[in-house]
Amino acid sequence: MHVMWDLRQEFRCAVLKDNALPKAEVAIQVRRLTKLESEKPCPVLLLVDDSKETENPHDLVNCIRKAAVEDSLNVNVDDAPNCKVIILNCVRSHSPKEQYRQHNPGLCQYITASLTQDEQKEFEKKLKELKETHDKPENFYSFMIMKSNFDKKYIDDLARNTLENFDFSTKEAQLFAFLALLNTYVAESEISLSLCEDFFGMKMIRWQEDSVLERMRPYSNLLIIDTVEEWGGYKGIRILHCSIASACLEELERSCNLKVSDIAMAILHCDLFFSVGVVKHRFMLSIQRMLIERQRKKDGDEREPFSPLIDKIHSQEGRQAVQEIFVKASSRFVSSASIPQALARYLYINERDFPEALIWAEKAKNIKENPYTFDTIGQLHKSNLKSNIHREKQETSLNPEDLNTNIKIAGNAIRAFKRAQDLANTEDEPEEKAADDESEDYPRKSYNVYGYVGVLEIAFLVFEILSRLPFFEESDPMKKKYLQSFLQKVIPITNVYKKDNEINNRYMEIIKEHEQFLQSLKAEVKETFELLDCYFMYIKGNNSEFDSKNRWNVCSHFKKYVTLFCTAREEIKKERQNNPNLNWKIDIEERRLFLEERQADTFAGILQHLDKPAEEIETITECYAFLQQQQQFINKKQKTKETINYILSNIVLYVLKPKSKHVKSYSSLSALLLKTLQDVGLGYPFPDPYYLALLLLWPSPTQENTEIGTYVKAIRNSYRKRLTLLFRNRSTVAHLYLGKEEGLKRLVSKPQLDENFKDMRRDALAQLWRNGDIFKDKAIINRLHRVCGTIEQGEVFANYGKLKIPVRPALIAGIRSGFSTEKVSFYLGFAIDGPLAYDIQYEN
C-alpha cells in the first residue's frame, strides 16, 4: 500500500479485494480507470489483494487486454506507452520465504514482518516527534509494535498487563475474548458495533461511537473502531493488531486457564449471534471460516488437513472437544455442508473412526451434493480400505470376511468418486465466493480429474488385495497368471485352481458374489488411463501442484498396470517355441502388448512421443505397420483405431526422424487417411481422424482442399460430444504448427520450437507461450508460416483464395469485438478441438 501511495502521481492505483468478481467485470473497471478524467489512457497499478496461489493471473491479464482492445480499435495495446496495466499479485502466506523459493525469484518478492536497520532508525526518529506532540505516545500500540520490530516480549507484556484482572463471567471480558479468538484466526475480521450494543443490551436510541469502547475498559486501549465498506457499510470493532490478539489468547490460557475451545463454544452458544441480520451474517461467516479455513502447507499448493483453530483444539484436548465444537457448529450452520464435511474428515484422518465419519460425510452430502462432498465420501472409503490392508498385513491368520468387507468398501468408494466426477463435469459452479471455498482439498472450480484418479487408486487397492489371496499370490507366476486371466475375463473364478479347504472355498464364494464388479475393473482402469492421457496431453497446463501430483500419481499406477497386465511377453516367447504353427498370432499379440505397455495404443499416447526419443516411436510405427500388414482385427472398430494410430505414428516419426526407413510418404498417408475418412464419415465418436485431416489435408498456397471446412466442423462436433466435459473450463493446446514447407515438412512440433530457448527457465518459457510473446521471436517467425485471414462478426477465418476456414483464437484477447470485417494474419496451430490462431495481427 505504501508503494501505491508513493506512485499515486504516476499511476491510477486501485486494490481488488473481492477475487470472486468475474474477471471480465474487473477488466471493464480497470479500463474505465485508465480513462477517468483524462482524454489519453493513464497507466494503472492494480493490487490483487489476498490472491489465491492456485488462481491463474493470466486469465485476468487476458481479460484486461481484450477490454483495452475493444475500447480502442486503433491502439496497439502491447506497444502503446500510455495504455499499460501493472498487476501486483499479493499472496498472503504463513511461510513467505518458502513460497518465494518455489516461484521465479525474478518475478516475485516476499515481505515479512521485520524491519531493516534503516527502518528501525526511522521509527526511533518518529517516536521522538510523537513525544513532542502527545503525552503518551507509547499508547500507540500498532506503532510501538512495529518500532519494537514486532518483538514478541513487548506484545506479551502488553497483553499480560491489560488482562491482569480478567473475569470471563462479565460480558465485557467475554466480548474481548471473542474478538481475540476471531482476530487471531480470521484475517480482517471484526464484530459490528450494533451487534456489540445488542450483546451489552444497550437499547437507547442514540449512542456515541465510543460508548461501546467505554464499556470495554480496561481493554479498550487495545481496540479500534473501523468502517467496513462491504455489506452496505457499517462500523466494526476489532483488536488493533493480530499479534496483540494472539498474545491475548495465550495470556488468557496461561493466567485464566481459558482455552480456545471454551471461547469458541461460548460464541456458538450465544443465540444473538445467529439470528437474522446483515452484519450478523458477516460475523457468522467469520465464525465459519475460523472453523474450516485451512492454511496452505509450506511446501506447495496443498492445504493443511484442518483449520489452525481445530489443530490447536485437537493438540490441547483431543477428539471430544473438537467433535463437540463441530456438532454445535453444525446445529448453528444447518445449511452449510462444510461443517459436517470437516468433522467427517477429522474423524477419518485423525481418529480412524470410519463409521462415525461416514455418518457426517453423508450428512454433508445430503445438505449439498457437489464434487467435494462426494469426494470426501470417496476419500473416507479409500482411507478405510488402506487401513484395513495395513492391519491385515500384520495379521497371521486369514479371514475371508475381510475380503467381503473390503470389496463392498471399494464399490462404495468408486461410486462416490464417479459421482463426484460426474458433478464436476456437468454442474455449474457458483461465481460467488463462499466460506466453503477454503475447506476443500482442491482449488474452487478445478476438481477436474480427481474423481478419475480416485477410481484408479481404488481399483489398484483391490488388485493388491486380490494378489494376496492364497490362489492369486503375485510371487507365484502361475497364480499371477490366474489373476490376470480372471481380471481379463478369460476365465471365471470357478476355473481358478485352488487347494480345497474351508477358507479357500469361502474366498471363492465371496469372489463369485462380486465377480461382475471385480471383472469390470480392468476395463474401467484402461478407459480411465485413456481419458487421463487425453487430459494431460490436450489441455493447456496451469503448472499447478495439483496437476503435477495427479500426473505423477497416474504414471505410478500405470507402471503397476504394466506389471500386472503386460508382463506376458516372456510367456509369449515360450509359447512361440512350443507352438510354432501359431507364430503369426503370437507375433500380433506380442506387438499389441508392447503398444499397450508403451501407452502407444491410444491417439493421445502416440502424440506424447513428440517429446520422447525417436527410437521408441520408430519401434511403435514398425509394430503398427506389421498389424496393418496382417489385417487381423477383432472388429471394424479396432481396425479403424489402429489405422488412425498408424498414420499418426508415421507423422510423429517423420517429425523426429524424417529419414527413417519406416516412414511412409506423404501421398501414401494422405491416401490411407482419405479412405479411412470415407469409412468413418463425419460422425466418428473421437476427433482423432479429423485431427489427422487437419495435419495432412490443410490447404497450401499451391493446393486447395475444399473439404477441409467440413473436417473442421466434424472435429469440433466430435470434441464437443466426447471431450468437452473432461476439459471443462480448460483451454486446449496445439502440439503441431503450420510451417513454411510442403507435405510432412510443414508440420513443426512444439518441442522443436522450444529448442530455440534451451537456456531459458521453464517457467519463463511457459510465460512466453501463455501471453503469446513467443511468436515475436525471430527464430519462431522464420520457422512458421503466417496465414492470411479475416475476422467477421467476431469469428476468425483462414482464407485460401475463395476458401474460408473457421479457426479459433488461441487467446480471446487477440480479437476485437464488433460486426465489421477486418483483414488479419496469424500463425496456425492444430489442437484436438480444431485449428487455433496465434498472434493475430490486424492489417490496419
SS3 728: coil
Taking alpha carbons only, the member of 258, 254, 251 closest to residue 159 is 251
What is the CA angle 230-234-235, rounded to 5? Answer: 125
The string of DSSP codes covering 98-139 is: HHHHHS-TTT-----S---HHHHHHHHHHHHHHHHH-S-GGG
> What is the rounded distance in angstroms from the CA atom of residue 561 to the CA atom of residue 820?
55
The string of DSSP codes covering 378-433 is: HHHHHHHHHHHHHHHHH-SS--HHHHHHHHHHHHHHHHHHHHHHHHHHHPPPPSS-
> Tens of pLDDT along 171-194?
999 999 999 999 999 988 899 888
> Tens of pLDDT along 691-735?
999 999 999 877 778 889 999 999 999 998 888 777 766 788 999
SS3 436: helix
What sign has the CA pseudo-torsion 325, 330, 333, 337?
Answer: positive
Taking alpha carbons only, the member of 825, 652, 607 closest to residue 747 is 652
What's the rounded mean pLDDT across residues 426-435? 51
Task: Look at 104-108, 147-151, 251-255, 666-670 and tell me which has the smallest mean pLDDT.
Answer: 104-108
pLDDT beyond 60 at 584: yes
SS3 226: strand
Residue 793's CB: how many other CB atoms inside 10 A? 9
Residue 244's CB: how many other CB atoms inside 10 A? 23
Query: What is the pLDDT, as a whole number, of residue 397?
Result: 87
Rg of the chain's alpha carbons, rounded to an integer?
32
> Tens of pLDDT along 203-243?
655 555 558 888 888 888 899 988 887 766 788 899 988 88
Ranges of beta strands (E only) in 268-396 are none
Query: What is the pLDDT, as a whole number, of residue 105?
Result: 56
Torsion angle (degrees, nearest 10) of CA 785, 791, 794, 795: -60
- Give the per-residue SS3 of 440-499: CCCCCCCCCCHHHHHHHHHHHHHHHHHHCCCCCCCCCHHHHHHHHHHHCCCCCHHHCCCC
What's the rounded mean pLDDT across residues 245-251? 93
pLDDT category, 84, cuts 50, 70, 90?
A: confident
Query: What is the pLDDT, as a whole number, of residue 437?
Result: 47
Query: What is the pLDDT, as a whole number, of residue 391?
Result: 94
The string of DSSP codes covering 657-699 is: -TT-TTPPPHHHHHHHHHHHHHHHTT--SSSHHHHHHHHHH--
> Tens of pLDDT along 820-834?
788 999 999 999 999
Query: What is the pLDDT, as a whole number, of residue 11?
Result: 83
Query: What is the pLDDT, as a whole number, of residue 55?
Result: 53
pLDDT beyond 90 at 616: yes
Taking alpha carbons only, the member of 514, 402, 525 closest to residue 453 is 525
What sign has the CA pseudo-torsion 495, 498, 502, 508?
Answer: negative
477 contact partners, CB below 8 Å, separation of at least 6: none
pLDDT beyond 90 at 32: no
CA-CA distances (angstroms) from residue 90 to 36, 44, 225, 712?
Answer: 25, 16, 26, 42
SS3 239: strand
Query: What is the pLDDT, as a whole number, of residue 165?
Result: 87
> What is the rounded distance in angstroms from the CA atom of residue 309 to the CA atom of residue 264?
9
SS3 46: strand
Query: What is the pLDDT, as a whole number, of residue 228?
Result: 81
CA-CA distances (angstroms) from residue 175 to 43, 162, 405, 760, 837?
Answer: 46, 15, 51, 56, 60
Query: What is the pLDDT, as a whole number, of residue 74?
Result: 44
Give me the domains of the chain, ranges plus CATH numbers: 1-102 (no CATH), 141-371 (no CATH), 372-567 (no CATH), 747-842 (2.40.50)
Query: What is the pLDDT, as a whole number, of residue 54?
Result: 43
Contact 288, 339 (CB under 8 A): yes
> What is the rounded distance in angstroms from the CA atom of residue 74 to the CA atom of residue 713?
32
- What value does the mean pLDDT of the chain take? 85
Q: Work out the percent of the chain whose per-residue pLDDT is above 90.
A: 50
Task: Look at 200-209, 250-259, 340-349 and tell me which has the smallest mean pLDDT.
Answer: 200-209
What's the rounded mean pLDDT across residues 584-599? 86
Contact 191, 179 (CB under 8 A): yes
> Tens of pLDDT along 536-563?
898 876 556 667 788 888 999 999 998 8
> What is the rounded distance in angstroms from the CA atom of residue 341 to the CA atom of residue 335?
12
Higher-pLDDT residue of 100, 375: 375
What's the rounded mean pLDDT across residues 298-303? 65
Which cell is 58 given? 493470466
